[in-house]
Chain A
Amino acid sequence: MNACPKHIGEYMHEYLDGDISREHEIELKAHLQSCDNCRQHMQELNSTIAFVKSAAVVSVPLDFKQNVMIRLPKGRSGAGVQRWLRRHPIFVAAAMFCILMSASLLTGFNDNKEFSVTKQPNLVVEGQTVIVPEGKTVTGDIVVKNGDILVKGSVDGNITVINGQYMASTANVTGQIDEINQAFEWLWYKIKNGGKEILSFLGKNE
């Protein structure tokens, strides 16, 4: 086939790939009729393909699937979580925000070691202890930071104790009593208060 035009060889492969154009096919067929070498070459290619295609199907071992399942990593891989995070970037942003916010709130928790109490009439302060004297009534909320509260009389409102103890004998408190001693609770209290503020803010707007 040395003397034959080079493109004839290309046409043969175009033909075998099944994407030969009509003109090329006519030219190829005409050439093959007149050229023994190329005809033989074409035949060899055809029988090569037939040879490869006669490869028998090799059946897969019976326990193949079982072995694949054994080799799979156990349990739910991190893939699920990763995928979820990738699809919900807002949650990642929100989580980052919460972490940073809680960091600043926690710092606030540690920094405030000073004793403080909400000013209300009738309250008696003895050292680190706030006392609601017997027979007296305090109207309004009381917040005690870094100190204890001893209620002997009655309170018409909420009591919140941060880093301290709530003590009462026969106390009469109309509101809620919260003791906050740990960082987490402190955080929760902040969040809850934030929520309440938002709610009351929304309530006013309505």
Chain B
Amino acid sequence: MDALINKRIKQVLKGDQSAYSDIVSLYQQKLYQVCYRMLGNRHEAEDIAQEAFVRAYINLHTFDLNRKFSTWLYRIATNLCIDRIRKKKPDYYLDAQVAGTDGLDMYSQISSSDRLPEEEVERMELQERIQYEISQLPDKYRTVIVLKYIEELPLQEISEILDMPLGTVKTRIHRGREALRKQLGNL
């Protein structure tokens, strides 16, 4: 698979644009899935996933053929998703700790205040509910949870995609799991 991808990449770099469509075919499902789970909206997911492929095409000459192409693509896509999420958010400093709370930052404040009434949540269909609960996660936890449990990627690859140490990825996954558990209450 990697050999095939590298062959296609070389063709594209030589100017054969049509070879890129094979690359898109191979990864479109994965990339779209990640974007959808990150953004919670099909239209936006399509836009961002396409943008990710376009950016990858433009910067293809910077890709190191010795590395894994999917890791590189995921990285472009998750960065675009996070940018999009942050643009939609209000303008205050979300990482700032809230006075009088132990380790809680503005993320948790927002998700708790934005949450729908419990009866409404309980009326949701399963799939709708899953997406809703994922969207309630702060984006730094959402990214790792989506990559780990929706895409089922190994922790090592997640650490490469997000360009952060393995330890940080683990911590975020642990906190993400706990946050989800609390959101779900007694399911």
Contact = CB atoms under 8 A, between A and B. Distances in A.
Contact of B46 (A13, A53, A64, A73): A64
A17 B21 contact: no
Interface stretch (B69-77, B81-89, B93-101, B176-184): B176-184
Contacts of B187: 44, 47-48, 51
A112 interface: no
Interface string B28-68: 11001100110000100110011101100111110000000
A44 to B, nearest CB: 5
A170 interface: no
B89 to A, nearest CB: 23
Given A13-B170, A47-B187, A58-B32, A65 B21 contact: yes
Chain B CB within 10 A, most for which of A10, A51, A73: A51
Interface of B: 13-15, 17, 20-21, 24-25, 28-29, 32-33, 36-37, 42, 45-46, 49-51, 53-54, 57-61, 126-127, 130-131, 133-134, 145, 149-150, 155, 170, 173-174, 177-178, 180-181, 184, 186-187
A65 B149 contact: no
Nearest to A57: B33
Contacts of B145: 52
Contacts of B178: 45
Contacts of A64: 24, 28, 32, 46, 49-50
A67 B45 CA distance: 13
Nearest to A60: B32
Contact of A68 (B24, B37, B181): B24
**Interface size, A (range):** 35 or more
Contacts of A61: 32, 42, 46
A58 B146 CA distance: 13
Interface of A: 10, 13, 16-17, 41, 44-45, 47-49, 51-61, 64-65, 67-69, 71-73, 76-77, 79-80, 82-83
A59 B29 contact: yes
Contacts of B133: 51-52
A48 B42 contact: no
A201 to B, nearest CB: 40
